[in-house]
Amino acid sequence: MSDDFLFAEETDQLEPIINGSWKILIVDDEPEVHAVTKLALSDFTFQGKNLTFLSAYSGAEAKKLIAEHPDAAIILLDVVMETDDAGLLVASYVREELHNEHVRIILRTGQPGQAPERQVIINYDINDYKSKTELTAQKLFTVIMSSLRSYRDILSLEQSRQGLEKIINASADLFTSHSMEQFIDGVLQQLTSILGCNEDALLVSSSLVAGNISGDVSDPHRLVVFAGQGEFERKEGKPVQDVLAPELMDAFEVALNSRGIVYRDNYLVAYCTSKFTHGSLLYISGLPGVMTENQKKLIELFSQNVQIAYENVQLQHEVEDTQREIVYRLSEAVEHRSIETGNHVKRVAFICYDLAKAYGLTEEEAERLMFAAPLHDVGKVGIPDGILNKPSKLQDHEWEVMKTHSSIGYNILKDSKRSIIQAGAIIALDHHEKWDGSGYPSGKKGEDIHIYGRIAALADVYDALRHRRCYKSAWELEQVKTWIESESGKQFDPKLVEIFNNRVDKLEAILQKYPDSDE
């Protein structure tokens, strides 16, 4: 067999650049087989990677080793070891218990009669079957090369599948920050997979585009990480100069100044076109070789569109933020009519959010309640000033007029198709209902009162008691706690009162953060 192991003569050709390695697991009870295999493949490289060999001398060792190295590319597997079918049991273990469909399994046997090829190929999920006597150095080289190509293609397909899955999942709710990050992460994964490079990829943006508008957005060189893969994972939000080596920063500067794509060594930096800002830069490393024209067109297309997609989402967020600010300002305008200064509606909003999360509402519901809560007293716009700002106790007929603000607010908001305004209508109508049924306008009782109304009721009363009004002075915290506790099961939902007592320190912090202007 030694005559078959021929090696090329030495030349003056430069050594290939080694960028990582492929793991090959040799499973055989004969040490000589391990030594000969390693010798025959000692100078093997594929796509700039050499081979790393792992050795197991029994089926039991092989099971342990493949479980520890799920990223192994190939298993050269002897059939007959401690038992006549030890290798076959390893193959079954890899596929059926570890569910490793990626690794290529090549059976090597010195006793073909023990495991006939046809039977083994049919009954076991292996990728090749070789007799040790036929596996010369050249044939070993050929089978390793073809198996690595298959392994590479399987990984590429899997990466594409994962990237496509991320994009599909993100597309269901594209216009949220989390989903946009997931979307771009998925596109990065797709792009690195299609180009055949490794998983190190990075997208950096100007501070405005990345959502950090506190910096000098007129400077195009103020870039922060928006999305990253591989070594750049979990680097989001960091300044790019804190993440990249100086030579990479130089390439980034060239791409930024030229507004083009820079190819260097085994990586590229692409400028992402923007209509509204200074744009973004895309970095991808581990390129397998010279980029083809089709690959360059793909990179150019991506760089032209990914920034536009993100900016569209930013514009959507800007619209949503504008809507929320309008809600706050209109609600504050109503509060100013009743000589209640400043931040009452803002405090009620944040208190509602805190109570809602503690109560068990979803993040989406808690946010909807928070943004809608400032509308709870919008109906006061229809109450005469003489009643609204009367410093003494209201007479019975005046009180009946005051109570109509719940229905007025509901009627103002009820016909909106916007979820926040719809929630505001519910809160306006129900936030003066009481748990025992003695509230207004409808005398609802218990859980017939919408949870938004129940939470807003407690938040509104708590904040009102803790601050001065035209008809009363601010109450001390202990006085408020005692009174709210006494109203558990009467005015307020008992579960909410319990949550209030457990979280009152956090709620007090909200009051401290947003004081009235006269405090």
The type of residue at 122 is I
Of 86, 123, 91, the closest CA to residue 106 belongs to 91
Q: Is the dihedral of CA 90, 96, 98, 102 positive or negative?
A: positive
Q: Which of 106, 134, 125 is nearest to 28 (CA)?
A: 106
| CB neighbour list of residue 345: distance below 8 Å, 6 or more residues apart | 328, 331, 332, 335, 373, 374, 376
Closest alpha carbon to 317 in 427, 166, 213: 213
- Where b means 16+ CB within 10 Å and e means fewer, 239-275 reads ebeebbeeebbebbeebbeeeebbeeebbbbbbbebe
Question: What distance in Å separates the CA atoms of residue 447 and residue 436, rounded to the nearest whole number?
Answer: 10
Residues 53 and 74 sit within 8 Å (Cβ to Cβ): no
Report the Cα 255 to chain-centroid distance in Å. 28
Place of tokens 């895309």: 282
Catalytic residue among 166, 346, 357, 380: 380
Return the HEC string of 142-204.
HHHHHHHHHHHHHHHHHHHHHHHHHHHHHHCCCCCHHHHHHHHHHHHHHHHHHHCCCCCEEEE
**Is 380 designated active site?**
yes
Nearest to 81 by CA among 111, 119, 105, 121: 111
Between the alpha carbon of residue 130 and those of residues 83, 116, 133, the distances in Å are 19, 11, 8
| Residues across the chain | 519
Beta bridge partners of 205: 224, 280
Say if strands 104-109 and 128-131 run parallel, antiparallel, or are unpaired: parallel
Annotated catalytic residues are 380
